[in-house]
């Protein structure tokens, strides 16, 4: 066992009594992590240095396009990634709306009750412990799936909700939005002894004092800030409703808006939604108060678009919180407050040569220009509905998407992806690049987190940007490792 892990375990075991106050009623003690991935849930290894000693699981729909959103979903105490995958409803909307979901998992090796360390500065601070491990998972998923770095979101239940708030505070440059379900305000507690007090009644701080806890988590950051949804049952006696009020005060202050809602409406499941708009009139913070609900994540089993999840311990039948959270974030192809331009239709490859790809698409009304992305990276902003990408490598596959941009410079919804392969190849040609770049360029493929050269199937090591190899192509489409030299 690594010394850092041993120290962490000893520190937690020494405070097991205090932890029981924090989490004894959060879930049923004794739930075990899944022995293997269930259904479409897949474990990912080698995602980084993993200073927080977490496990990474993910669900990615088949045919996921580049520049799709990415959601991080954190379980509650004594729960597992598989529990959250099975009961929360996130896989349904990943399929329906097109995005990947990462389910981090902690275990009793970190914490006797498998709670994320939302109360421990060694775990929930920027660059440290579990928080750093989760951000490494984000970076790995972005590389693996070509996810849109501007649309990464995090959500969590109970202890996972507390860690969600801490992540939003520590990494506002990583997460565009968050959703805290039956959770705690960011940095409510900085010790295990203080954690139970936060659950039953957080400190009576002013909105500015709560906001300072966010601003102090990443000093110097002045925005943009994540858009935050807050879910709370009025009959929650594990994490009291006062925490939802503190969260509302905290994030409205960070946004520089008042604590009086811009509007209030009634939703299914005896739910009251209060919306707090930013200066442009778009929702920045939303609170969802579920009348009579206890401690857990709100779900609503059924086949309707706004229904999701499975009832289980701490997955409570009232309203599909996942659906409303996804709509708030804009995962349903909109944006908070509306107004986003639709995706360009009809994107197609019109011509290819050995070093170029030509594209065309249908015009979008009110578009001032278009953003063309190659393999997830923006390469041009034409005003016309055609574009020719030049300077490419022969015999290589490239992935393209296009988004319309309005007059204010705001990009709209990204189009479905098309793939084009340039013609020809040069026998004996050599390519030196990271494993990630080789896969992206079509010279290699991944299986089980490892990269294999196309044709020869030689193992190139882990799928990341930290391993570099030289590949020789001969004949066309057949690649071998040539790190020791690549004579043509």
Rg (CA), the chain: 24
**Burial call 229-247: b when 16+ CB within 10 Å, e when fewer:** bbbbbeebebbbbbbbbbb
CA distance readout (Å), 204 to 198, 207, 210, 213: 10, 9, 9, 13
Q: Do the Cβ atoms of 198 and 188 come closer than 8 Å?
A: yes
Our answer to whether residue 158 is catalytic in this structure is yes
DSSP 10: H
Residue 354 makes CB contacts below 8 A (sequence gap 6+) with 394, 395, 422, 423, 424
The whole-angstrom separation of Cα 339 and Cα 278 is: 15
- Report the side by side order of strands in the sheet with 468-473: 429-434, 468-473, 479-481
SS3 363: coil
Nearest to 454 by CA among 465, 439, 468: 439
Nearest to 155 by CA among 139, 170, 168: 168
Q: Cβ atoms within 10 A of the Cβ of 215, count?
A: 17
Q: Do the Cβ atoms of 180 and 160 come closer than 8 Å?
A: no
Q: Do the Cβ atoms of 293 and 287 come closer than 8 Å?
A: no
Q: Do the Cβ atoms of 319 and 267 come closer than 8 Å?
A: yes
Residue 368 makes CB contacts below 8 A (sequence gap 6+) with 383, 405, 406, 407, 409
Nearest to 28 by CA among 289, 310, 298, 295: 295
**Among the options 27, 133, 144, 158, which is catalytic?**
158
The whole-angstrom separation of Cα 73 and Cα 198 is: 22
The whole-angstrom separation of Cα 149 and Cα 135 is: 12
What length is written for the chain?
488
Tokens of 351: 């011509």
Q: What are the residue numbers of the active site?
A: 158
């Amino acid at each position: 066992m690594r010394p850092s892990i041993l120290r962490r375990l000893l520190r937690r075991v020494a405070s097991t009594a205090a932890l029981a106050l924090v989490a004894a009623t959060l879930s049923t003690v004794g739930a075990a992590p899944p022995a293997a991935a269930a259904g479409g849930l897949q474990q990912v290894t080698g995602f980084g240095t993993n200073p927080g000693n977490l496990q990474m699981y993910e669900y990615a729909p088949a045919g996921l396009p580049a520049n799709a959103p990415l959601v991080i979903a954190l379980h509650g105490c004594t729960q597992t990634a598989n529990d959250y995958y099975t009961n929360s409803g996130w896989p349904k909307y990943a399929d329906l709306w097109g995005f990947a979901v990462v389910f981090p998992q902690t275990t009793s090796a970190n914490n006797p009750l498998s709670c994320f360390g939302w109360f421990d500065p060694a775990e929930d601070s920027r660059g440290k412990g579990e928080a750093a491990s989760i951000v490494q998972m984000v970076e790995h998923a972005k590389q693996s799936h070509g996810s849109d770095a501007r649309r990464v979101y995090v959500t969590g239940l109970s202890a996972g909700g507390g860690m969600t708030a801490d992540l939003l505070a520590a990494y506002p440059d990583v997460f565009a939005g968050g959703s805290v379900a039956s959770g705690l305000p960011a940095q409510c507690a900085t010790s295990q002894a203080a954690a139970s007090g936060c659950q039953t009644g957080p400190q009576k701080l002013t909105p500015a004092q709560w906001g300072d806890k966010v601003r102090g988590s990443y000093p110097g950051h002045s925005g943009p800030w994540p858009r935050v949804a807050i879910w709370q049952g009025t009959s929650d006696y594990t994490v009291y409703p006062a925490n939802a009020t503190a969260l509302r005060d905290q994030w409205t202050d960070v946004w520089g808006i008042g604590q009086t809602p811009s509007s209030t409406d009634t939703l299914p499941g005896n739910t009251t939604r209060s919306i707090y708009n930013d200066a442009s009139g778009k929702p920045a913070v939303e609170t969802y108060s579920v009348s009579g609900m206890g401690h857990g994540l709100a779900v609503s089993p059924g086949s309707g678009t706004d229904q999701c999840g499975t009832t289980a311990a701490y997955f409570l039948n009232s309203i599909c919180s996942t659906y409303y959270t996804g709509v708030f974030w804009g995962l349903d192809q909109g944006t908070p407050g509306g107004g986003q331009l639709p995706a360009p239709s009809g994107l197609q490859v019109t011509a290819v040569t050995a070093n170029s790809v030509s594209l065309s698409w249908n015009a979008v009304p009110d578009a001032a220009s278009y953003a063309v992305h190659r393999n997830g990276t923006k390469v041009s902003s034409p005003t016309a509905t055609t574009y020719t990408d030049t300077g490419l490598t022969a015999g290589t596959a490239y992935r393209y998407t296009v988004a319309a941009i309005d007059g204010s410079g705001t990009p709209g919804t990204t189009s479905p992806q098309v793939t084009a392969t340039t013609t020809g190849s040069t026998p004996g040609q050599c390519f030196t690049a990271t494993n990630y770049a080789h896969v992206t360029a079509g010279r290699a493929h991944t299986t089980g987190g490892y990269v294999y050269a196309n044709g020869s199937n030689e193992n190139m090591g882990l799928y990341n940007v930290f391993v570099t190899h030289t590949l020789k192509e001969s004949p066309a489409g057949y690649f071998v490792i040539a790190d020791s030299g690549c004579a043509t």
